[in-house]
Amino acid sequence: IYKRSGDTFAKLSNPSSLPTGYVNGCAFSPDGTYLAVAYYNSPYITIYKRSGDTFTKLSNPSSLPTGTGSGCAFSPDGTYLAVAHESSPYITIYKRSGDTFTKLSDPSTLPTYTAYGCAFSPDGTYLAVAHESSPYITIYKRSGDTFTKLSDPSSLHAYTANGCAFLPDGKYLAVAHDSSPYITIYKRSGDTFFKLINQS
């Protein structure tokens, strides 16, 4: 972890408790208080709380992801933490209360295979999950603590999706994936996501 001063980045001391394997992704909570790290070995996710320049590991959630953590994302209000991982259910979602992260019930419809990345929309209403196997992108709509899968876009990109990101206004969703064109962009209208035509 580096601390920035102007254009200079100085490495901080390592946390006293470190991840147990190679790391695939990390995410700060929007207020900068928490840092989640997704990695190869159990417990697959480690969450640190920051106080000044010190990052202290929190107790592991009582229910952990079931396989290698590939990526993670906080909701814009810092209430929810989604972890993309190997092994069913492929996406694990936690709700934060203070420093405690409690696993929510799995969505009734899950991604079809290993998830590599996830992203919340800026208003926290939608959660996109990039994964192996068709449809390669699974999009959920949140109502309270329930995440319900939306219908797949009528036109999908091809091959494994490795990551995804929403535009700050939430109207567009970009998906990075294997095989040309390597990036696919969807436009949202209500709860429907339409694939844009590739530009020459």
pLDDT tens-digit series, residues 82-92: 999 999 999 99
pTM listed for this prediction: 0.96
**Is the pLDDT score of 170 beyond 70?**
yes
Task: Please give the pLDDT value at position 33.
Answer: 98
Whole-number Å distance between alpha carbons of 46 and 19? 7
**Is the pLDDT score of 1 beyond 80?**
yes
Q: Beta partners for 56?
A: 49
Encode pLDDT of 156-168 as tens digits. 988 999 999 999 9
Secondary element (H or E) of residue 185: strand 183-189
What is the rounded average pLDDT for all residues in the chain? 97
Smallest CA-to-CA distance from 115 within 143, 145, 83, 93 is with 83
Encode pLDDT of 116-137 as tens digits. 999 999 999 999 999 999 999 9
Q: Running DSSP on this structure, what letter comes out for residue 167?
A: -
Encode pLDDT of 71-81 as tens digits. 999 999 999 99
In b/e form, how buried is each residue of 107-141, taking b as 16+ CB within 10 angstroms? beebbebbbbbbbbbeebebbbbbbbeeebbbbbe
Average pLDDT, integer, range 13-23: 96
Average pLDDT, integer, range 139-148: 98
Average pLDDT, integer, range 21-37: 97
Cα–Cα–Cα angle for 192, 109, 112, rounded to 5 degrees: 95
Task: Please give the pLDDT value at position 31.
Answer: 98
Q: Beta partners for 115?
A: 131
Average pLDDT, integer, range 155-180: 95
